[in-house]
Chain A
Amino acid sequence: GEDVEQSLFLSVREGDSSVINCTYTDSSSTYLYWYKQEPGAGLQLLTYIFSNMDMKQDQRLTVLLNKKDKHLSLRIADTQTGDSAIYFCAEIPNQGGKLIFGQGTELSVKP
C-alpha cells in the first residue's frame, strides 16, 4: 500500500541544523519530494530526488535517500526563523502523478 510517515514536530534554535525524517512504503516510487507550507498558504516545492540518487544538495538543503530502508530526510543548514513552517514529504508511486503526502512536520525555529 501507499503510506508516508513523518514525525509531527521539530524545534530547533536559529543557526542550528534541522533534520526532518520521512519513511515511505512504496518501493516503486520514482520521485520523492519535500514541500514547504507557510501558514494559510499553498505548498512550495523545495526540492525533489529521483529514486536512483542517494543524495541531493541545493544550497542550505540536503536530501538523503536510503532506498533499502525507504527513508528520506531533509537537512536544513543554518536554520533561520523564516524556515518555520510545515514540511511535507511526498511520493509519486506510479506515473499517474498522484502525490501521496506525509502528515507534515511542523518546524519551529527559536531565536
Chain B
Amino acid sequence: GAVVSQHPSRVICKSGTSVKIECRSLDFQATTMFWYRQFPKQSLMLMATSNEGSKATYEQGVEKDKFLINHASLTLSTLTVTSAHPEDSSFYICSAFGTSGLAYEQYFGPGTRLTVT
C-alpha cells in the first residue's frame, strides 16, 4: 500500500511554544489529507480535513487558530499547534487517500506523540 510518513515521531515542548508536525505522502500525491487526535486508550477524533491549495475544513469544536493546517503541496500537509498547553498533549495522526482517490484507499501515518510540559 501507499506510504505516509510523519515527522517528528515524538516531540516535547514547553507550554506557550508552537510546534509543527509534518505529514508526507511518500509515493503518491494526496490532494486530501486528514488530521486526527487520539487520547490514551481512546478512539481517533477527526480534527480537520486538509485540502491542497485551499483552506482546511475543521470539525466542530476544533480551534482553527490554535491548530493551523497548511497543505501547500500535493505531498505535504503540516499541523502547527500554536501556544501549546499541557492539555494539547496527545497522539496526532494524519491520513491520506491513495493514488486512485477512491475512499477505501486511505492510509495512515505512524503518528506523532506530542508532550507539552
Query: Is the beta-carbon distance between B111 and A45 smaller than 8 angstroms?
Result: no
Assess whether A97 is interfacial by the CB under 8 Å rule.
yes
Assess whether A92 is interfacial by the CB under 8 Å rule.
yes
User: How many chain B residues have a CB neighbour from A under 8 Å?
Assistant: 22
Looking at the complex, which one of B1, B34, B43, B110 makes contact with A97 (CB distance below 8 Å)?
A: B34
Q: Give the 6 A-B residue pairs with the shortest CB-CB distance, closest first.
A: A43-B108, A42-B110, A42-B108, A42-B111, A101-B43, A31-B104
Query: Is the beta-carbon distance between B111 and A97 smaller than 8 angstroms?
Result: no
Chain B residues lying within 8 Å of A97, measured Cβ to Cβ, are: 32, 34, 49, 97, 103, 106
Assess whether B93 is interfacial by the CB under 8 Å rule.
yes
- Taking residues whose C-beta sits less than 8 angstroms from the other chain, chain A's interface range is 20 to 34
Interface residues of A (CB under 8 A from B): 30-31, 33, 35, 40-45, 48, 50, 88, 92, 95-99, 101-104
Assess whether B100 is interfacial by the CB under 8 Å rule.
no
Assess whether B68 is interfacial by the CB under 8 Å rule.
no
